[in-house]
Amino acid sequence: MTAAVGLASTRFTVRAPHAEGVWLCLFDGEAERRVEMARSVWDWWVEVAGDLTGARYGFRAEGTWDPPRELWFDPAKLLVDPHALELDRAFVYDPRLSEYGVDTAALVPKAIVPGALVEASPAPPMFAVGGLVYEANVRGLTMLHPDVPQDLRGTVAALGHPAVIAHLKKLGVSAIELMPIVAWIDERHLPPLGLSNAWGYNPVVPMALDPRLCPGGVAELRAAVAALHDAGIGVILDLVFNHTGESDIFGPVLSLRGLDNEAYAHAPDGVLINDTGTGNTLDFANDAVRRLVLDSLRHFVRHCGVDGFRFDLATIMARGPGFDANAPIFAEIAADPWLADRVMIAEPWDIGPGGYQVGKFPANWLEWNDRWRDDVRRFWRGDAGVGMLATRIAGSADLFGPCADVDCRSVNFLAAHDGFTLADTLAYEHRHNYANGEDNRDGHGENFSWNNGVEGPTNDPAVLARRDAFARAMLGTLFASAGTIMLTAGDEFGRSQAGNNNAYAQDNAVTWIDWKDRDVALENHVAALAAWRAGQAMARFPDDGVWLALDGGAMDGARWDDPATAGFEWREPARSWGLVIDRASPYAGPLESPLSLRSDSS
């Protein structure tokens, strides 16, 4: 921790290997007091008399300003502590943050010196492979929830409200996965468009909670985690360690860029590597970067009690510069007593060379499986056969290996925060992203979606019936699949984003879930599927089952290869249970289906 309070003094330490001078800046209101720091190899330190708990501070660093040589020292820039845990306000983009010589003390949040932090009680993660992960944006989930008090809406505290927890319990959620709650800054092209980042995938420092989402800081997150744990629900944080909001060479100077720009990966000619598509890439071959990441993970486990993490563009974490399945970060996490047993979920790709690495992460990590999403959509759309669908349902052995005797590492999902919602997958053939201000160029062009006869909203009962039937069938496929499954908040009751498949800049009704007009019948269907799945062992897929055609005959090679084959049955004699897929109905789910599932899907 950078700011450490002792018995009679507070010690500050910050890494700035190439700085010629560093100052601690303490703030009392707008008044700033600068304290010169001393060098100790790569770090700078100073000890200030007194217990400074609650004090606001930042740093300034002096040295060479030569951006073409990737040197960004400017004493006019107030720099946020990379190890900050709490900030006094949110980041706000301003072009002056990039201008040499312009003082930014009035523009940049100040870190807050933390007092003694309460340690969470050591306990195994409240999540097991095969469970249901519920991906949620804190603001999107709670801003319009009628039962959550107005002053709690849009905050982490709202997650502990009984109404929110009751909904999660109804769905059988094993763990809620929170989209980023660490402080972020808007991308510089958004403010001129009147837009703001709604998702948070543009952090500045890795531990500081965003005051807009978590105004109560560490204590608020710890209390929400405890409330969810009391309900038997784990908490997984979605963290962004692949880049920071300092962006490319035209981006702001906020923290690492002004202190230790070597935290970013560079090509041999000195140019920033951009394997993330955001302008910069954190360099995991750098020991200091990995230490910062490990400190962040330990903090969230040790002081907040979280159960695990999902890593955005996780391929970056194993680069140096190429992907290495034996990258140091994996061994360091595995050897850490606070982290070794936590749930680790990789988004196993980035946009750099060799960036798609599904199936290549450590054996005890879970991985998002976009192949599951795409192949399931293509099957129900009618342009893929049953063979690949069976592979996906059985745990994607082609990607992760057989899972009859070991837990399947696949995280299966129909939709995620980026891309179409489930409802929009069945209502739009094309993206409709004009509200993002990029002339509909952003977002994926191919979504394997189909509109069932009408593009967008309709009152046609036949079209609505088809969409509903396919939604139920696709959800049935999800809940019948081996491995961990993920449901994005609102997909259980037909949430739409009006065809926007990249709604990162829509902090408004596009991404705020409409609780009043949700499809309760579909929600009840999902709850019934969850109740059925809860009675099965879904972490593995037994190898003693029998695959049958829908007419009861054997699934021979001809039927597997025939594009016209509408589905199959799978039965496991040892447990007397099974599943059925029938594209003609359409239906997917338990073979011996409860009436609540069969009748509603017909």
Catalytic residues: 312, 347
Q: Specify the pairing of strand 234-239 against strand 31-36.
A: unpaired
Backbone angles phi, psi at 47, to 5 degrees: -115, 125
Closest CA to 160 of 172, 171, 170, 152: 152
Residues contacting residue 408 through CB under 8 Å, at least 6 positions apart: 129, 130, 395, 396, 400, 482, 483, 484, 539, 540, 541
Closest CA to 573 of 595, 598, 543: 543
DSSP string, 484-546: EEEEETTGGGT---TT-S-GGG-TTTTTS--STT--HHHHHHHHHHHHHHHTS--SS--SS-E
Rounded to an integer, what distance in angstroms lies between the CA atom of residue 69 and that of residue 56?
A: 32
Closest CA to 156 of 199, 204, 113, 209: 209
Closest CA to 525 of 470, 584, 572, 576: 470
E strands within 245-347? 308-311, 343-346
Tell the burial category of 345 from Cβ atoms under 10 Å away from its Cβ (0-12, 13-18, 19+): buried
CA dihedral angle for residue 106, residue 111, residue 115, residue 120, rounded to 10 degrees: 140
CA dihedral angle for residue 556, residue 560, residue 561, residue 566, rounded to 10 degrees: 130
Backbone angles phi, psi at 450, to 5 degrees: -155, 145
Strand order through the sheet with 56-62: 31-36, 21-28, 56-62, 111-112
Rounded to an integer, what distance in angstroms lies between the CA atom of residue 161 and that of residue 153?
A: 10
Residues contacting residue 335 through CB under 8 Å, at least 6 positions apart: none
CA dihedral angle for residue 378, residue 382, residue 386, residue 392, rounded to 10 degrees: 20
Q: Are 514 and 498 in contact (CB under 8 A)?
A: no
Rounded to an integer, what distance in angstroms lies between the CA atom of residue 126 and that of residue 479?
A: 20
Question: What is the DSSP secondary structure assignment for residue 2, as one 8-state letter?
Answer: -
Radius of gyration of the chain (CA): 25
Label residues 218-241 b or e (16+ Cβ within 10 Å = b).
bebbbbbbebbbeeebbbbbbbbb
Closest CA to 560 of 404, 378, 390, 371: 390
